[in-house]
Chain A
């Protein structure tokens, strides 16, 4: 893990190599270092961290989505990077709005991102531009909506309990 100072150094190296807008913010919490990047530059940042940085991170351990509903921008895409040589981990986070949930794919850098980007698209509706096979992966192909968004209805059926049995119409049938 880079510590808080190391994280600032990483952020500064990324800013020097790309530009100042690439890294929006840094956060260091509970021993985990995270770079927050602008979604359009996420691929450039990851490419720099993988191949060109002084302390490179060669593995993408996980790519996942998140919905921070009351906050704006709502959606988040998280990348967890690992350096096998230095045994260091680094998080990279991008925040997107539901109006423009688009960001570049990283499947050419990390092949493991293929299925995980499909999963994020399936559940959160984030569109990864340039993905070789942008289909749903877990839900049926004709499914409508992105069910892990927090404003998606839970679905299922009302369950009959004693406290709500009179609210359900014709429960006694």
Chain B
């Protein structure tokens, strides 16, 4: 995020004097250059979109949704204090797709499950992101057979692929950080614009 900080460069004051100045400001005792300096120090200028993206990228709420063995790994990443995903604002698991921002495809996707996942994805509100976690969700992994979809990106737009079988917790956290980088640049777009899929909506189904 591009931040224009105030250009006043002064030695850091101790807490007590800052508190005193705040007290003066609230009482209306500050005026003139003192007041201008005070305001300049406490302002942080940015663009509205940047602030919005900053807020979005630090509150990616994942959907509580697991597919297979990677789901266990995902739970330890999201839910455990050892990995502490709260550092990146993505620890609040939402069990309703209406409240979730991110879908982590954690495991192999069977052809029977694919329409279910697609419906859950369609029920999520924009903006929404998808992380394909592990080899199976990305490419069917070692299961090259009749029962599985070879790659969840055949029916879903996937933003970040995390390789591994299963990925290390650090790898998934890195994937979430990559997603944060992506959100920083273009979170305002819907998934159709982001993945260049305009005009793929259902006929008569609105612009879901």
A residues whose Cβ falls under 8 Å from a Cβ of B: 138-140, 143, 147, 152-157, 159
- On chain B, the residues within 8 Å of A157 by CB distance are 140, 144, 150
Is A147 within 8 A of B147, CB to CB?
A: yes
With A140-B112, A157-B140 already in contact, the answer to whether A152 and B146 are too (CB < 8 A) is yes
A165 to chain B, nearest CB (A): 16
Greatest chain B CB density within 10 A among A138, A143, A152, A155 is at: A155
Is A140 within 8 A of B111, CB to CB?
A: yes
Question: How many angstroms between the C-alpha atoms of A154 and B147 in the bound complex?
Answer: 9
- On chain B, the residues within 8 Å of A156 by CB distance are 140, 143-146, 148, 150
Tally of contact residues, B, Cβ under 8 A = 10
Is A154 within 8 A of B111, CB to CB?
A: no
- On chain A, the residues within 8 Å of B146 by CB distance are 147, 152-156
Greatest chain A CB density within 10 A among B145, B146, B150 is at: B146
Contact of B144 among A138, A143, A152, A154 (CB under 8 A): A154
Is B145 within 8 A of A154, CB to CB?
A: yes
- For the residues of B in contact with A, the DSSP-based class is loop
Question: How many angstroms between the C-alpha atoms of A157 and B145 in the bound complex?
Answer: 8
- On chain A, the residues within 8 Å of B111 by CB distance are 140, 143
Question: How many angstroms between the C-alpha atoms of A155 and B147 in the bound complex?
Answer: 8
Question: How many angstroms between the C-alpha atoms of A156 and B112 in the bound complex?
Answer: 15
Question: How many angstroms between the C-alpha atoms of A47 and B112 in the bound complex?
Answer: 36
Can you name the residue of chain B whose Cβ is closest to the Cβ of A138? B112
Question: How many angstroms between the C-alpha atoms of A153 and B145 in the bound complex?
Answer: 9
- On chain A, the residues within 8 Å of B148 by CB distance are 156
B residues 122-152 near A (Cβ < 8 Å) are 140, 143-148, 150
B153 to chain A, nearest CB (A): 13
Can you name the residue of chain A whose Cβ is closest to the Cβ of B113? A140
- On chain B, the residues within 8 Å of A155 by CB distance are 144-147
A168 to chain B, nearest CB (A): 14
Is A139 within 8 A of B112, CB to CB?
A: yes
- On chain A, the residues within 8 Å of B144 by CB distance are 154-157, 159
Question: How many angstroms between the C-alpha atoms of A82 and B144 in the bound complex?
Answer: 37
